[in-house]
Amino acid sequence: MNFAEKMLKLRTQYGYSQEVLAEKLNVSRQAVSKWELGTTLPETDKVIAISDFFAVSTDYLLKDNFQLNNNESLDRIVLKFLGSAQDMDNISKELVDIMKDGIIDDEEKIRMESIIDTLDTISKIIDEIKHKIYAQ
């Protein structure tokens, strides 16, 4: 899934119109439309704002697919994993917030989907580390 598809999915799952989302992000409705059509990408500060607004990682928003890179060194892969520490910290906090009342409602299920996507990415990094270790 690419950025445009993820934007549309998040916006519609949360039940926002393009206009309402645009107001919340302090951009024009046309900007949101262009992002969802894939004709433009938001600037970095807007990607961060979108990430914060929908409680998803910037990795989730920007990475289409995670591919193993056999030319990448083990050191770099481990550094990539360590870079996920912020995502893991945010996931822990998000899960605690979701489970406060002991019931997962529809909005929380949507939040869980993005958590699962981020965990899948982290899991793939771990698999890549294992592949590099066992290939040596």
Q: How many Cβ atoms from other residues are within 10 Å of residue 1's Cβ? A: 12
What torsion, rounded to 10 degrees, do the Cα atoms 114, 118, 123, 128 define? 140
Alpha carbons 108 and 20: distance in angstroms, whole number: 20
Contact 18, 24 (CB under 8 A): no
CATH number of the domain bearing residue 8: 1.10.260.40
Q: Classify residue 12: in a domain, yes or no.
A: yes
Q: How many domains does the chain have?
A: 2
Q: Classify residue 62: in a domain, yes or no.
A: no
Q: Are residues 80 and 129 in the same domain?
A: yes
Residue 107 has pLDDT above 70, yes or no: yes
pLDDT of amino acid 130: 81
Note the pLDDT tens digit of each residue in 17-36. 999 999 999 999 999 999 99
Q: Classify residue 122: in a domain, yes or no.
A: yes
Q: Classify residue 99: in a domain, yes or no.
A: yes
Structural domain of 117: 74-135
Residue 135 has pLDDT above 70, yes or no: no
Alpha carbons 101 and 79: distance in angstroms, whole number: 36
pLDDT of amino acid 71: 64
Average model confidence (pLDDT) for the chain?
84
Q: Classify residue 7: in a domain, yes or no.
A: yes
Alpha carbons 118 and 100: distance in angstroms, whole number: 21
Q: Classify residue 31: in a domain, yes or no.
A: yes
Residue the block writes with tokens 């500060």? 45
pLDDT of amino acid 7: 92
Alpha carbons 135 and 49: distance in angstroms, whole number: 40
Note the pLDDT tens digit of each residue in 59-90. 888 887 544 455 678 888 888 788 777 778 78
Contact 77, 129 (CB under 8 A): yes
Q: Classify residue 61: in a domain, yes or no.
A: no
Q: Classify residue 13: in a domain, yes or no.
A: yes
